């Protein structure tokens, strides 16, 4: 049975045209935000805040280095860390050279997160 060799090219063409239309409409929708940002305006904030420290731990990417059970993978274990709440908050806000990035947790969330880390056992 011989297959028609033109069918895959037609499917790719239809997919490409559909993708062009989709991306064009997406760009039109974002044009006001981009114009506002280019004029020095603030970018609209749409980020949701995690409701508890454990959700924040998962959403901020901490789980990648400290593990799903806080056991430590490429970063240190968080269980029984032996640091004060203020020391932990300082690390969360400013990071550590050669490892922990700064700014993963901000402001009030850093207080809540530091308090939560001190209670891990």
Digit-by-digit pLDDT tens for the chain (121 residues) are 578 889 999 999 999 999 999 988 888 878 888 788 877 766 555 555 556 888 888 877 788 888 888 888 888 888 888 888 888 888 888 888 877 888 888 878 888 888 888 888 7
Q: Are 74 and 68 in contact (CB under 8 A)?
A: no
What is residue 38's predicted lDDT score, i.e. its pLDDT?
Answer: 77
Q: Are 88 and 81 in contact (CB under 8 A)?
A: yes
Show the tokens assigned to 102. Answer: 């700064």
Residue 65 shares a structural domain with residue 100: yes
Residue 60 shares a structural domain with residue 88: yes
Residue 114 shares a structural domain with residue 62: yes
Would you say 20 is a known binding-site residue?
A: no
Beta-strand (E) ranges in 1-121? Answer: none
5 lies in some domain: yes
Would you say 100 is a known binding-site residue?
A: yes
11 lies in some domain: yes
Residue 7 shares a structural domain with residue 36: yes
Would you say 62 is a known binding-site residue?
A: yes
86 lies in some domain: yes
What is residue 15's predicted lDDT score, i.e. its pLDDT?
Answer: 96
CA distance 30 to 25: 9
Residue 37 shares a structural domain with residue 61: no
Residue 31 shares a structural domain with residue 58: no
Per the structure, the complete domain to which residue 62 belongs is given by: 53-118
DSSP 8-class letter at 61: T
DSSP 8-class letter at 30: H
Give the torsion sign (CA, 36, 41, 46, 47): positive
Residue with tokens 């932990």: 88
Residue 35 shares a structural domain with residue 71: no
Would you say 66 is a known binding-site residue?
A: yes
């Amino acid at each position: 049975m011989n297959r028609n060799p033109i069918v895959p090219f037609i499917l790719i063409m239809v997919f490409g045209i559909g993708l062009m239309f989709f991306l064009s409409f997406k760009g039109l929708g974002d044009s006001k935000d981009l114009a506002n940002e280019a004029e020095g305006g603030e970018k609209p904030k749409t980020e949701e805040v995690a409701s508890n420290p454990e959700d924040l731990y998962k959403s901020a990417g901490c789980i990648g280095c400290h593990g799903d059970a806080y056991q430590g993978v490429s970063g240190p274990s968080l269980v029984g860390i032996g640091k004060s709440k203020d020391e932990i908050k300082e690390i969360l806000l400013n990071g550590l050279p050669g490892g922990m990035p700064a700014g993963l947790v901000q402001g009030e969330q850093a207080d809540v997160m530091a308090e939560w880390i001190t209670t891990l056992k």
